[in-house]
Amino acid sequence: MRKKKLVSVLAVLVFACVVSISAARQVFPVEFREVEVTPEILEKFNLQTLRTSGKNRNLTWTSPTAYHAVCSIGGEKREYWSLPYVTYSYSDVSSADSVWTATFKVAEYSQIGDKLHYGKNVFEYNNIKLAFRCGDNATFLRTFQSGRTLENKDSEAELTGGGLANRLTTEAGGTLDGRYVLKACTDYDGEEGKGDYFLYQGVLSYEASGENADDEGTLLIEFDRSSAFNSAVEHVEQRIPLPYSVRP
């Protein structure tokens, strides 16, 4: 009798293990990859018309790869897309205030069955840094950073600041530290300010005397990307040259 009970208990345990393994397999990603950004990929995110060079206009830098994951839960296919990008603008520097601005955004969506969802995703972005550098004939008077972010991944927080004044050096930067994460979708369908973002702004002025000078600035972009499917963290860093002129 005891033997039969033991066999029954073992059978139940084996069945439970099989069910657990099956369930784990259903939520495990079928596919996780980085996809090279092409015009077709940009169209998925409604970002097909981008300006990537020229001053005194709004420009866009996109990550060279979009992030894509597919999994199955309860037999239902779930597909996730995410593409970080930065919109920025800069101008020639004069004795009047010259404003350079950069904003980190994320275009992303998920497809569950036949339905599209915006703001529900598995990708996260941490330790975001935007920093401008200018040449020797200009100086940063002040910088500003702000944005809507998620702090500790479960509560909204406002990040604002203005204490990064930089009159003595030629570089200024702002950083979202590890407590903050950009998680919700941003600006996917062209609505400005939708979702979360990180804004960085620098105000410059002419500094040198004598003849006009040409110089080149830089926009530094850094961030860490992770996902709910993979504990690995990918660090991305990009430097964008900003050629400009300086005049009194």
Q: Are 68 and 122 in contact (CB under 8 A)?
A: no
- Find the Cα–Cα–Cα–Cα dihedral 109, 32, 75, 27, rounded to 10°: -100
Residues contacting 215, CB < 8 A, separation 6+: 134, 135, 136, 137, 138, 243, 244, 245, 246
Q: What string of pLDDT tens digits covers the 248 residues of the chain?
A: 544 544 443 343 333 333 333 333 334 546 888 999 999 988 888 887 788 888 888 999 999 999 998 888 878 888 888 999 999 999 998 888 899 999 888 888 888 888 887 766 788 888 888 888 887 788 888 888 877 666 655 555 555 443 333 333 344 667 777 777 776 555 555 454 456 778 888 888 888 665 666 678 899 999 988 887 777 889 999 999 999 888 88
Token pair, residue 135, equals 């040449």
